[in-house]
Chain A
Amino acid sequence: MVGVAAGLAKAGFRPVVYGLAAFVPMRVLEQIKIDVCYEELPVVFVGDGAGVVYAQLGTSHQCTEDVAALRAVPNIGIVSPADRFELQYCWKHLLQSKGAGYLRFGKADGGDVHAAIPDAPVGDLLQARPGKGDWAIIATGSMVVAACRLSAALGGAPVWSAPVLHPINRAQVESIGRAFGGIFVVEEHSMAGGLGGLVAEIVAETGGCRVIRFGTRQFSEFCGDYKYLLSQHGLDDSTLLAGMTSAMAREAP
Chain B
Amino acid sequence: MPESRLRSRANAFDAARLRASVLRMAFAGSTVHVGCALSIIEIVAVLYRSHLNLGDRTPRAAGRDYLVLSKGHGVMAQYACLHELGWLTDADLDRYFSNGTRMKGLSDAHVPGLEVTSGSLGHGLPVATGLALGAQRLRSGQRVFCVVGDGEMNEGAMWEALLFAGQFRLDNLVVIVDENRFQAMGPTQEVISLGSLHAKFAAFDYDVLSVDGHDEKALDAALDDLMARRNGRPKAIVAATVKGRGVSFMENNNVWHYTRLTKETFDAALAEVEGR
Contact = CB atoms under 8 A, between A and B. Distances in A.
A56 interface: yes
B103 A60 contact: no
Interface in A220-252: 221-225, 228
B105 interface: yes
Given A22-B120, A23-B120, A27-B120, A59 B104 contact: yes
Given A222-B99, A224-B99, A56 B104 contact: yes
B108 A222 contact: no
Contacts of B97: 56, 223
A58 B99 contact: no
A222 B50 CA distance: 32
Contacts of A23: 120
Contacts, number: 53
B44 to A, nearest CB: 20
Contact of A60 (B99, B101, B106, B110): B106
B6 to A, nearest CB: 28
Instruction: Report whether over half of chain B's contact residues are helix, strand or loop; otherwise say mixed.
Output: loop
Contact of B108 (A27, A58, A225, A228): A58
Interface string B123-155: 100000000000000000000000000000000
Interface string A21-61: 01100010000000000000000000000000000111111
B-side interface size class: 20 to 34
B39 interface: no
A223 B106 contact: no
A57 B119 contact: yes
B117 A223 contact: no
B104 A225 contact: no
Nearest to B98: A223
Which among A57, A61, A228 has the greatest number of chain B C-beta atoms within 10 A? A57
A60 B108 CA distance: 9
B195 interface: no
A221 B101 CA distance: 9
B117 A59 contact: yes
Contacts of A225: 99
A182 B271 CA distance: 62
B158 to A, nearest CB: 14
Contacts of B118: 60
A6 to B, nearest CB: 15
A228 B100 contact: yes
Which among A58, A221, A224 has the greatest number of chain B C-beta atoms within 10 A? A58
A30 B271 CA distance: 50
Which among A59, A60, A222 has the greatest number of chain B C-beta atoms within 10 A? A60
A221 B103 CA distance: 10
Given A22-B120, A27-B120, A61-B120, A56 B31 contact: yes
B198 to A, nearest CB: 26
Contacts of A56: 29, 31, 97, 104-105
Contact of A58 (B98, B100, B105): B105
Given A22-B120, A23-B120, A27-B120, A58 B101 contact: no
Contacts of B120: 22-23, 27, 60-61
A22 B103 CA distance: 20
A59 B111 CA distance: 13
A8 to B, nearest CB: 17
A239 to B, nearest CB: 16
8 contacts: A57-B104, A57-B106, A57-B119, A222-B100, A223-B101, A224-B98, A225-B99, A228-B99
Given A57-B104, A57-B106, 12 more contacts: A22-B120, A56-B105, A59-B108, A60-B72, A60-B118, A60-B119, A60-B123, A221-B102, A222-B99, A223-B98, A223-B105, A224-B98
